[in-house]
Structure 1
Amino acid sequence: MDKICLIIKREYLVRIRKKSFIVMTLLGPLLMLLVMFLPIYLTNQTQTERTIAISEQDFDLFNKLENTDYINFVVTPVSVFSELKLNFEDELYYALLEKKENEIILSSNKQVSLSVSNEIKSQLEKKIEQKNLVELGIDIRLLEQAKTKVVISNQIISKDGIGQKSKTELSMAIGFISGLLIYIFIFMYGTMVMRSIIEEKTNRIVEVIISSVKPFKLMMGKIIGVSLIGLTQFVLWICLTSLLFFIAQGYFGNIAEVESTQEIEMQSMMLEGLMYLNNINLVEILLAFLFYFLGGYLMYGSLFAAVGSAVDAEADSQQFILPVTIPLILSFILIQPIMENPDSSLAFWMSIFPLTSPIIMMVRIPFGVSDWELLVSILVLIGSFILSTKFAAKIYRTGILMYGKKINYKELWKWLRYKG
């Protein structure tokens, strides 16, 4: 046990001091913030006033178009409008708006912004609808009064008969983010274990190490050491992202003005989602995430370690890596269908199967999973980890000192049958 602890300590300290670890730890939160806030910043920086010319000939149709904060409609004489079509000057006008037979034409010497096009489309649809209602003799005010907005609140009835409000979108978001994080973590740090073993095997360092420690202890030390690196980086990402988020929110909050009904509704939905968080068992989700986060990595880490010990170069590992990672990739692809029907037979069996359960079960938990299903999934994952570690150790023990030989599946099967 002391030797495993020494290997864990060495793996942890060597990797945590690497520049690549420090750079990725700092860049991770910054990239996340860029994805969140950069579109807001760029939208506000590029939202300049745009003047759109309208011909007097189409005044009856376009006369009720209202100017906005970034669109200004200008009516021009027919002769001027015709001249602009022949010699368009983007210094004066952003685009030309006209009606031709049964379609609306928005002309410019470059691609018109989607926001501008959508704003004009929205206004015209509303104005034409009102005009048609008047012609049909329908009172617009009565029609508006007759319109009803139906709000359906989801409610989950607990065992004691008490109903708690839930939000499907929130459950989907939690499930998807949890599955995505586990998927990235397993791939990133599983390949790190494999590369570390291949590197030591290529440099013949492993021959010195193996003389003083058993191959199984060396393999487990590497897997656990890298998992601790992953956990450290994950915790640092959460802390740094939270800190930078509050700093950025104070700055971007002054820039991002609410300019449309869609943005108001989006903010309302976010506030509503925060309220629904109180009805979600976050402790259960966090504990389950931690278990599947580590359990999934440890099992896949042992398989990656076995692959690393069986080959001499990373390029040779592809034939073995693909079968190992197919269940992981498949479970990520099926996240969306599983969220649509979390109680299906496919969702159940994939949350029990150990190679897919780390992602699929985390997708299902926010929607509600029975205690016995969760218990069976946990026990199967633990049992599978023990078996996979046992098999991986056999391959590792033989392959770690094997050089210059192209390994195939038949050879791996022989190694698994070796006794002792």
Structure 2
Amino acid sequence: MGTHVIKMPDIGEGIAEVELSQWHVKVGDLVVEDQVLADVMTDKAMVDIPSPVHGKVIALGGQPGEVMAVGSVLISIEVEGAGNLKESAAPAPVKEAPAPVAPKVEAVVESKPAAAPSPTKVCQGPVVAREAGDRPLASPAVRKHALDLGIQLRLVRGSGPAGRVLHEDLDAYLAQGQSNASAPAANAYARRNDEEQIPVIGMRRKIAQRMQESTQRAAHFSYVEEIDVTAIEELRAHLNDKHGASRGKLTLLPFLVRALVVALRDFPQMNARYDDEAQVIHRLGAVHVGVATQSDVGLMVPVVRHAEARSLWDSAAEIARLANAARNGKASRDELSGSTITLTSLGALGGIVSTPVLNLPEVAIVGVNKIVERPMVVKGQVVIRKMMNLSSSFDHRVVDGMDAALFIQAIRGLLEQPATLFVE
């Protein structure tokens, strides 16, 4: 028997240390090749660390939230035979979060006597009782599906590799009539004194750091304007009726991206990044629009590159592709970086007004609120119109209030007269 030591991988890009975000195994667990052992967090993305071997976990090298140096011991696995003395590359990761490269894993073998691990047992049936804190293996898509169905994932027997819960397992669980609905209802008037402590680690820590940095470094100011979107919603419905089956359905977002592209021709100072250390503003010709997207691991901003060269349907397809990749943990680092201006929308949950936080080092972010029907006075007549607010924020260090207002008014004019979006 031998010991296979996996070291904290070199993620690349000159990164010297990473944060251990979460363990998916514990001491004593039997693991198989390609099973995800841990999540580690870099400055840009979450990366899964898979096992290159079959064996039994005998030691963990750190605690969630701990920042570990590249090359430090991450986990020790007991394996059969003498092991592999050569450095081994990890298999392609099973992604729970954006992980564009399979991390390099170093292996060190120390010969030591030990009992052979018992074979992994294959259990049948859709229901399993795990400990409350024992997190089952499952993809973000499966976790969301379980949440939508009201199923406690820890109660579902996984039939995938290493007990990973699959969509079929959720179907089997439902077929057995097991769901949260069968659990006894809690007393709605009972007193509670419980308290839960949730460490701010991993992606949540990175989001917190970036939001704090943005509000501390930039001089935020917000500007809100209401827009009559009746005409553009009629155009969108017409295009969907005529071309939706062949080209795909359009949401409002690609129209907003187009409006940004056209308005930025007259306001190039908004399509910029501010290097406050060098005191240099970088204005860019290319419009790389970040589209804020909520995922299972937190807020991400995938980037629609060269929006200035895309048609409505091209933008729509790219927005959908990137959003799906972000939500399923498959967006690469390149797809999550390099934006020049950001568009953020909560759709029907967008509220009336919001105050978006800048995505540094950008200098502008355009926030979209929900569409509501309201009575409005048009040419002396009270009519029902579809209205929507834009709540946008700017970096007052480099963007003047007048310029910000004119920029949003330009977007308003384009959306209220949608033909002008396509006039060159």
Whose relative contact order is higher, 1 or 2, with alpha carbons under 8 Å and at least 6 apart? Answer: 1
More helix by share: 1
TM-score (norm 2): 0.22
TM-score (norm 1): 0.22
More strand by share: 2
